Amino acid sequence: MVAMACLLLLGSLFLSLSANAVQEPWRIRDASCPDYRTYSTRRHSPITNGPLRLPFQRPLAECRTFVSSDVERVITEVKSRISDVDLAQLFENCFPNTLDTTVRWHLPGRAPQSFIVTGDINAEWIRDSTNQLSPYLPLVKNDSTLRNLIVGAIHTQAEFITSSPYCNAFQPPALSRLKPSSNDQSDSVNPPYDPALVFECKYELDSLASFLNLANMFFEQTGDSSFVSQDPYFMEAIKNVIQVLDEQALTTYDDKGNDRRNWYTFQRQTNVGTETLALHGAGNPTNLNTSLIRSAFRPSDDATILQFFIPANAFMAVELKRSKKLLAAAGYGKLADDLYTRGEKIEQGVWEHGVYENRNFGKVFAYEVDGYGSVINMDDANLPSLLSLPLLGFVDASNEVYQNTRRMLLSKAGNPYFLKGPDFAGIGGPHIGVRYAWPMSLLVLIRTSDDDAEITAALELVKKTTGGLGLMHESVNVRQARDYTRSWFAWCNSEFGKTILDLAVRKPHLVFGTGAEAYSITT
């Protein structure tokens, strides 16, 4: 702990020196710009002349938090090809939303930093920020300002994980001089954390996988691993990821049957069951010998019921294996092999312990297991989810177990959080409750489907249920689509952008019209 604090202190000294030497931070938003929290709840012109009359919701040019000429080029090119003006407007609003509104602070230059907020909350979630930035990754090869933004985002995530590897959401970096905010909770968490650095400390395995994911995507796009050695935090963060994996591979009882403490515990004063953990903050028991890793919380920030949360284990398996190439290229060959082997072990654990025979749907993936034979059977809209397994790269969409699972998850009979009403249908979750389905689940449904009718129906549904605001929301009331949560939810806007760009390559006729040619943003 002491060593870590010293490293942090040295790190920030180093960075503040170089910051003074380099240049002013990039575009801290002008105080005269409207708050996007309210801006996104009102309709702005120009309004389309399509049946939905969708508004233009990008902030004024001078109020955008980051500008990429390549992203602007893509918007123009895609818009010019989409004949449905409402769909085109939705793409124009959603695809740049993370750059337009959530780059709360960016320090460019040789030691870049980027603080990417989730939207309406002034904090960065590691998982959200990776997904928010992901649609721009194919452009970093050619756009050096965007590349600098992403390297900065990798750095800032690494700095967070170096200080507090068990936490999921973080305060602005000290150098930004932005004020930290409070989540208004009194949590007792072990290991303890500094609320000046951490916004919330829920341990989510997928959050650590998301950190690897951003670095891996960047390396795959650019072939450039130089950030690994240039960044004072990156390898420290990798060490911390490995330490958490080791600690969270430990189960409730040791091999002599004695109980042992969980390295992570979390308790909150709350009347919401999903906001705190059983067994004095340790979570429900897990069994030996599964090679799965525990997760205290889900990507929804709700507590897991059984701690072997399968989507995050699948995601971690994929990203550990993917990291081999990055770390080998950066000169860490032995560690690269170690991570690969860890990934293989977890992958095997998922197939051995995370698949079971469902009475109605055959062999399917479980959402959570405990190694004792208990299974939580459901899916939640937040990514990683079971529905998203092919997008994570864990399994091919044509795989039989995945197809069984998918049929189950998209049915009222198979998934307790498949929600359907007169206005909207999709997967929701306990976070908002059983009357609200999440547009994000429909975007994942589209990207994992080869069926034109299924894709078109889902796209129509998403398009029609923005509450007239032309942006994605977190969740939508299935009985009354005008009732939604979170007008400014940047992550889902990025997912919408990715979905249109996916269809532009894979199913151009569905977005550009019969006979249209495929369009890829990198050509």
Ligand X SMILES: *[C@@H]1O[C@H](CO)[C@@H](O)[C@H](O)[C@H]1NC(C)=O
Contact 210, 312 (CB under 8 A): no
Write down the least CB distance from residue 140 to ligand X, Å: 9
Smallest separation, CB 273 to ligand X (Å): 29
Name the 3-class secondary structure at 386.
coil
Q: How far is 156 from 172, CA to CA, in rounded Å? A: 9
Q: Provide the minimum distance between the beta carbon of 141 and ligand X in the complex, in angstroms, as a whole number.
A: 5
Query: Please, which residue, 144 or 522, has the CB nearer to ligand X?
Result: 522
Which is nearer to ligand X, 14 or 372 (by Cβ)? 372
* In the complex, least distance from residue 371 CB atom to ligand X, rounded to whole angstroms: 8
Binding mask 411-430 for ligand X (x = CB under 6 A): --------------------
Buried b (16+ CB within 10 A) or exposed e, 411-437: eeebbebbbeeebbbbbbbbbbeebbb
What token pair was written down for 150?
């992403």
CB-based contacts of 79: which residues, under 8 Å, 6+ apart? 88, 91, 92
Nearest residue (CB) to ligand X, 70 versus 236: 70
Residues 262-321 that bind ligand X (CB under 6 A): 287-289
Q: Which residues contact 105 (CB under 8 A, 6 or more apart)?
A: 25, 28, 113, 114, 115, 172, 173, 176, 178
Ranges assigned E (strand) in 293-392: 308-309, 355-358, 362-365, 368-369, 375-376
Site size for ligand X (CB under 6 A): 6
Cα separation of 42 and 224, whole Å?
A: 42
**Given the complex with ligand X, which of 254 and 460 has the nearer CB atom?**
254
Closest distance to ligand X from the beta carbon of 307 (Å): 16
- CB-wise, 287 or 485, nearer to ligand X? 287
Q: Which is nearer to ligand X, 270 or 522 (CB)?
A: 522
Q: Which is nearer to ligand X, 164 or 290 (CB)?
A: 290
Which residues fall within 8 angstroms of residue 91, CB to CB, at 6 or more apart?
A: 75, 78, 79, 82, 496, 497, 500
Six token digits for residue 495: 């997912």
| Minimum distance of ligand X from residue 138's CB (angstroms) | 7
Which is closer to ligand X, CB of 141 or CB of 239? 141
Residue 80 CB neighbour total at 10 angstroms: 11
- Quick one: which of 41, 270, 360, 522 contacts ligand X (CB under 6 A)? 522
Cβ–Cβ contacts within 10 Å for residue 94, how many?
27
Q: Is 73 in the site for ligand X (CB under 6 A)?
A: no
CB of 523 to ligand X, least distance (A): 6
Mark residues 132-151: x for contact with ligand X by CB under 6 A, - for none. ---------xx---------
| Beta-bridge partner residues of 368 | 309, 376
Smallest separation (angstroms) from ligand X to the CB of 227: 19
Q: Is the distance from CB of 172 to CB of 244 less than 8 angstroms?
A: no
Provide the minimum distance between the beta carbon of 335 and ligand X in the complex, in angstroms, as a whole number.
27
Beta-carbon contacts of 7 under 8 Å, excluding residues fewer than 6 positions away, are 162, 236
Min dist. Cβ of residue 352 to ligand X (A):
12
By C-beta, is 291 or 304 nearer to ligand X?
291
CA–CA dist 212, 95 (Å, integer): 23
Smallest distance from ligand X to CB 348, Å = 15
**C-beta contacts of 359-365 below 8 A and 24+ residues apart:** 360/408, 360/413, 360/414, 361/404, 361/405, 361/407, 361/408, 361/414, 362/404, 363/400, 363/401, 363/404, 364/401, 364/404, 364/405, 364/408, 365/310, 365/389, 365/401, 365/402, 365/405
Using the minimum distance from each CB to ligand X, give the nearer residue, 12 or 287.
287
Contact 408, 426 (CB under 8 A): no
Nearer to ligand X, 252 or 448 (CB): 252
Which residues form the interface with ligand X (CB under 6 A)? 141-142, 287-289, 522
